[in-house]
Amino acid sequence: MTMSDKNETLEYKLKGNFDTENIEAWGHEYIRHLSGEIVSVWGEMDDEEGGAEEEEQREEKKEEEEAAAAAAAAAEQKAEADKKKRKQLVDMVKSIVPSQMKHHAEAEACDLLMEVERLDLLDE
């Protein structure tokens, strides 16, 4: 599989059947591809958080209190959506890592856990 900028494979997996009981049937290459897209999306969410904080500070200085309140509400909604998506991604990581460990891809499993800042899941 080739990587794309759109992370379509991950999007379709999250929208579709999230059955992780039969992860072995997904295939090693598919799992590797999903891992790459998870890391990509996780990194994008981290980048957006930093930029959103700076933008919020600038907006608060320029706009009135009402506009700042509306922006804060929108930022809060985005943060909630990101939190939900992160939980979905962590759930998928929790099912991918054991499969990678079983198939002697320990380095890939550790890399994935480090990228999503959840190295503590290695014990599970």
Does residue 74 lie within any of the structural domains?
yes
Given pLDDT bands bounded at 50, 70 and 90, which one contains residue 1?
low
Does residue 109 lie within any of the structural domains?
yes
The whole domain housing 74 covers 26-123
The label of the residue with tokens 């591809």 reads 33
Tell me how crowded residue 25 is: count the other CB atoms within 10 A of its CB: 8
Given pLDDT bands bounded at 50, 70 and 90, which one contains residue 62?
low
Does residue 11 lie within any of the structural domains?
no
Q: Distance (Å, rounded) from C-alpha 48 to C-alpha 4?
A: 20
Tell me the per-residue pLDDT of 10-49, one tens digit each, with 9 for 90 and over: 888 888 876 667 777 888 898 999 999 999 999 988 777 6
Does residue 70 lie within any of the structural domains?
yes
C-alpha angle 41/21/15, rounded to 5°? 40
Closest CA to 46 of 4, 95, 85: 85
* 5 CB-near residues (< 8 Å, 6+ apart): none
In this prediction, residue 3 carries a pLDDT of 61
Does residue 4 lie within any of the structural domains?
no
Does residue 17 lie within any of the structural domains?
no
Number of structural domains in the chain:
1
What count of Cα atoms within 13 Å lies in the side-chain half-sphere of residue 83?
Answer: 6
